[in-house]
Structure 1
Amino acid sequence: MTEENTAKQIIEAALFAAGSTVTAETLMKISGLSKKEITLLVAELQEGYKSRGSGIEIADLSGRFVMQIKPEYAEKVKDVAPKELTTPQLKTLSIIAYHQPITKAEVADMRGGNAYEHINELHERGFIELKPHGRTKMITTTKLFAEYFGIASNDSADVRNKMVEIYRAQGGQSDISSFSSRKRLAVTEMYESVMRMCGITNYKVVNPYQPGESDLQILEETDILVMAKGYAEKLGDLNPPYGGTVLEMSSTTFGDLIEDIHLIEKELGENFTRFGKQSKKEENLTDLKELQEIYRNKALMVKSKASPATEMSAKLLGELGIGLSVDGIVVSPDYGKSSGGKKVKKGEVVFPTHKNQSGNLIKRVCEKYDAVIGGLREIDKAERDAGKKEKTAKKDAVSEE
């Protein structure tokens, strides 16, 4: 037997005896080999198990190695394996790992009331971590979980792929769609109002425009991103680039907000009730339509014609039904330059655009409408007063003659 084969057998025996992950450094001490030699011999062992169709595999977890049962055979040998997870526990753990971070209530919603018992058992085994989150607890997997299942890291993409593989072996193909149906939402600060209008509370707030490290992490774990219209193209320049669904929204008018709600409803489809509340959504849609009608009626009192300085101005005036004219009163937003750097002419009537991200969007729209209608009506009044004075002056002049 060659010296190389002896070393390979020592490494194989060490991995078998350990029953868990073994670092490259430990194998170096046992065998007296360099890290490069260890890596090459482990690769040969991996290929050997693979080529003979073994039910055992050796996984390389970024410098840590483990000999384990292939996932597709785990269920078949569970009766003889020591301290293995039960099928219900494994399914609950799969849900947690795939959708993490996830609350206890959300897990119970997907797995039933027994999930609370499973969560306690999984926590005792060290597979999951529980952190306070308001009145409930948020669940994430641990390093031990990654080692147990032979996953290179706790990276969300690696974990989800592995969990689908395990869950398919446990529950069959028919369970996969319901298993992966829960989507993770992220929203910019400005559009939190739209989430509340839909009764959606389970989402993360992110800054995709100038993302920091935590924002990039959130984006990597996000399936649906809600952000302002016109910025989606820049998401491909991020590192890593965002690969989920983007819902681009506007918030200039009540019509925009109504469309935003319908956009979320359409994207979530039959799963909407898993995220939000139909009653809350319908209530807010009704309120928006009523407000829309109230302001249109107020705008009927405006007599002057308006000239929009920007597309946003034109959109506001169009929704209010205010007449337009090239020679009309200039209506403009309160910023001096557009996002493209183009100078915007300051109008006789100026409405607020709220440069800060936070705030209630319904209130913002109301403030825009009030500024436009109020400003135009003041000009109407000034013109009427001027007309009256002119008429009075003419009348006085005739009387003196």
Structure 2
Amino acid sequence: MPLDAEDDSEGEDGGDPGDTSLVAVAADRSLPDLTSYDALVSALEALLLVVDTPVDEEVLAGAVDQPVERVTETLRSMAGDYTDRASGIDLRRVGEGWRFYTRDTYAPFVEKMLLDGQRSKLTRAALETLAVIAYRQPVTRSRVAAVRGVNVDGVIRTLVARGLIEESGADPETGGTLYVTTELFLERLGLSSLNDLPPIAPLLPEVDSIDEI
């Protein structure tokens, strides 16, 4: 607020001796200067350490009050630096934003300490169903069942509950609910987009050639 505006306000309200001290305290608690590259890196690291979902450049830029272009360039430089020095921290742009991950090389140590061998894994049936949906989406429940040769109702419910797949409208021909993978699916696999999936789709039959069950 301009100083003259502040003075006018005090004159109208009769003034408050405490206002001046509050302004002084606020000034003393000014934010760190992020002019230097190292300072901006430190600020971004602090933010990325507390997020549990990927956060985009615009949000980070707003948090540090810096241009989006500068923040984006710094994030890319940070990611390259972590990789070049084989850091245990892996900064990736996944889905719609950036997030810290454990570098694959050192993941076993993290699992050993935190998980103590008790991993919560998807069943083989769930993994197979998820693979069919990932490579053939959008796809109906019945077509997934046709590919797998078994009923997949329960597995579909599990995948939806875990946030790995979601409904995406209805099949115009059959009216059946279509399923697609989610941003969480990409995040868990460390992928930026579905285009980064390994090329194993040819091993699956084309859904157009499968009769509805």
Interval containing the TM-score (normalised by the shorter chain): 0.5 to 0.7
The Cα of 1:147 is off from its aligned counterpart by: 4.2
- Bigger RCO (CA 8 Å, 6+ sep): 2
Q: Deviations over 1:2-61 (max 9, x none)?
A: 942132122123222102111212212332322122112111211122113345422225
- State the Cα distance separating 1:113 from its structure 2 match: 3.9
CA contact (8 A) 2:54 2:96 kept: no
Work out the CA distance in 1 between the residues paired with 2:142 and 2:104.
Answer: 28
Identify the residue that residue 6 of structure 2 maps to in structure 1. none
1:97 aligned residue: 134
Alpha-carbon distance between aligned partners in 1 of 2:133 and 2:120, rounded to the nearest angstrom: 18
Is residue 95–residue 187 contact of structure 2 (8 Å, CA) maintained in 1? no
- Counterparts in 2 of 1:121-160, with a 5 A limit? 121-130=158-167, 131-133=169-171, 134=174, 136-152=176-192, 158-160=193-195
Tell me: CA distance 1:84–1:28, structure 2 relative to 1, closer, same or farther (3 Å): farther
Q: Structure 2 vs 1, CA of residues 137 and 76 (structure 1 numbering), >3 Å: closer, same or farther?
A: farther
Q: 1:182 to 1:50 in 2, by over 3 A?
A: same
Identical pairs, percent: 26
Distance 1:114 1:71, change over 3 A: farther
Query: CA shift at 1:122, angstroms?
Result: 1.5
Asked whether the 8 Å contact 1:96–1:140 carries over to 2, the reply is yes
Task: State how 1:325-340 maps to structure 2 within 5 Å.
Answer: none
Of residues 98, 101, 107 in structure 2, which corresponds to 1:65? 98
* Counterpart-to-counterpart distance in 2, 1:75 and 1:137: 39
Partner of 1:119: 156
Q: Which runs of 5+ in 2 are unaligned?
A: 1-34
Other structure's SS at 1:66 match: strand
Indicate conservation of the 8 Å contact 2:130/2:159, yes or no: yes
Q: Distance in 2 between matches of 1:76 and 1:112?
A: 38
What residue identity is the alignment partner of 1:86?
Answer: L
Amino acid at match of 1:106: R
Equivalent residue in structure 1 for 2:203, among 143, 166, 181: 181
What SS does the corresponding residue of 2:204 show, helix, strand or coil?
Answer: coil
Aligned to 1:51: 84
| 8 Å contact kept, 2:57–2:71 | yes
In structure 1, distance between residues paired with 2:148 and 2:133? 10
Which residue type is aligned with residue 181 of structure 2?
T
Structure 1 residues 135, 61: CA separation in 2 closer, same or farther (over 3 Å shift)?
closer
Q: Compute the RMSD of aligned alpha carbons.
A: 3.7
The aligned counterpart of 1:266 is none
* Separation in 1, partners of 2:210, 2:133: 17
Q: Corresponding residue for 1:161?
A: 196
Q: How does 1:214-363 map to 2 (within 5 A)?
A: 275=210
Unpaired segments ≥5 residues, structure 1? 153-157, 166-175, 185-201, 204-273, 277-401
Q: Kindly tell me: are residues 96 and 55 of structure 1, through their superposed partners in 2, closer, same or farther at Cα, counting changes over 3 Å? A: farther
